[in-house]
A and B are shown apart, each in its own frame.
Chain A
């Protein structure tokens, strides 16, 4: 166990280091002179030199990376070129909104996909199953860039139910959470259905049915817990990507989260902020995935080695 844990921590460390290094390299991918891109061509030479020194771009690459890692360790992500404020502070302001949106979308995904998936498996090859499959297919095929505006069109302007954009309390959370949650729900519905169908053919389900357990009880009590594992994995991965990948949805709805911060920073060529956003999101994503791996073993004793 200890050895496996060590191996896992090592793997995680390698991936985290790799991710940090890639994000560090980002700023060096700017074609030409990054300082010129940030300040514009007409900037004075003295300003350029000052910015270059402030960003440490005049140092050798290895030293730059060390400085960058050193800053990371102290949660010092540099200073925004635009607002002159510490990047960590800007990021910290936006994280709660992204968390709220991610949580709400996750709730939507769960609330839709679990009943729908169970229903589909229970009525395999009959109309509820077909309807669920159709929902899943459309959910997977309608991109967030379109689903968002579509929902705004239907709910905010058509029915006047919810605010169109911004963060004004619970009502404005509804549409972004639906946009983000429904595509996940589509994927999840498929997963719940597929893993249930797989388990329903197992011997222990037949045994339970032979003992006189009702179809519904066999499904809920015997099949569902065993079908939970792949579903749980998918959910875990999704939670990571939710907190990470809500960029488009946040922009569509003007939601003041990390994604909007990233896009604003891109428009302002505020590269330290861009770098920090990408790093934050990727790290959250990696950590969630690692957490899911661990949970996997906790939930399902079968996946533990030596059993």
Chain B
């Protein structure tokens, strides 16, 4: 908990709210045409949207999607990327050359563009958005794990394990992977921030979650139309989005400093 600090606590609190959303007395789908576009006040702390639905309730519903997609994408990307990078860096040779080139090609794409194109081609929807975001997210982890594996595989304890005839898989799991946990955690934290931003972008373009479901990005998209009469529709989800991204970025900074990790310049999406 001390390692997580304030940013970690903010993230946990938002995550807890998102998890609890189904059991809280919320009515995010209740259309009430009598109270369209009302500002914040009693009954609806953050006001109501263009269908009279309470913004706060929808914000919590959106938190489930934004955070859920973020966590899902980061987990999938980390699992795939680390496995691929680790094996590639450890095995070396032709395998590594090919994997290295594939990583180069994926790095050559501006990530968000690839995600937009994939989501567009696969069709709008949450699963496709997760797939599209993971398709660009694994690269960072793969590059990191590959670099680490390349520099670690000549270490004495690894050579000793090989001399003792330890199976390659065991060496990777027991002798290499534990040494990479710190940088991977840092990468995951920054990754969470970028994925949440990217998801908001996809949803803003209408490529993410479909109505009546919502995420912070789609709330901003819907709110923009009524922005001049009801600015709270854009301000509330934007603030939530920025707060979570800020927290994830700060958490990354903090973990990097505390865990003493040196990372090369990250790619900005």
Q: Which residue of B lies closest to A27 (CB)?
A: B121
Please report which residues of chain A, range 249-307, place their CB below 8 angstroms from some CB of chain B when the two chains form the complex: 251-252, 262-263, 266-267, 271, 274, 278, 281-282, 285-286, 289
User: 29 A-B pairs, CB-CB below 8 angstroms?
Assistant: A18-B104, A18-B108, A19-B105, A19-B108, A19-B109, A22-B105, A27-B121, A29-B121, A30-B122, A137-B249, A141-B245, A142-B238, A143-B201, A143-B245, A144-B201, A145-B197, A145-B204, A145-B220, A146-B220, A146-B238, A146-B241, A149-B227, A153-B227, A153-B234, A153-B235, A263-B116, A263-B205, A271-B121, A274-B117
A61 at the interface (CB under 8 A from B): no
Answer whether A146 and B242 are a contact pair too, CB < 8 Å, given A285-B108, A285-B110. Answer: yes
A31 to B131, CA, bound (A): 13
Interface size class of A (residues with CB under 8 A): 35 or more
CB neighbours (8 Å) of B223 from chain A are 149
Contact (Cβ within 8 A) B113 A274: no
CB neighbours (8 Å) of B265 from chain A are 230, 234
CB neighbours (8 Å) of B117 from chain A are 23, 26, 274, 278
A244 to B114, CA, bound (A): 11
Distance of B214 from chain A, by nearest CB (Å): 14
Q: Mark B98-126, 1 if CB is under 8 A from A, else 0.
A: 00011011001110111011101111000
The A-B contact count (CB < 8 A) is 137
B246 at the interface (CB under 8 A from A): yes
Contact (Cβ within 8 A) A14 B242: no
CB neighbours (8 Å) of A240 from chain B are 110
A57 to B265, CA, bound (A): 41
- How many chain-B residues does the 8 Å CB contact rule pick out? 46
Distance of A145 from chain B, by nearest CB (Å): 5
Distance of A41 from chain B, by nearest CB (Å): 14
Q: Which residue of B lies closest to A184 (CB)?
A: B268
Q: Mark B212-237, 1 if CB is under 8 A from A, else 0.
A: 00000100110110011001001101
A265 to B229, CA, bound (A): 30
Contact (Cβ within 8 A) B204 A248: yes
Contact (Cβ within 8 A) A187 B268: yes
Q: Mark A130-141, 1 if CB is under 8 A from B, else 0.
A: 000000011011
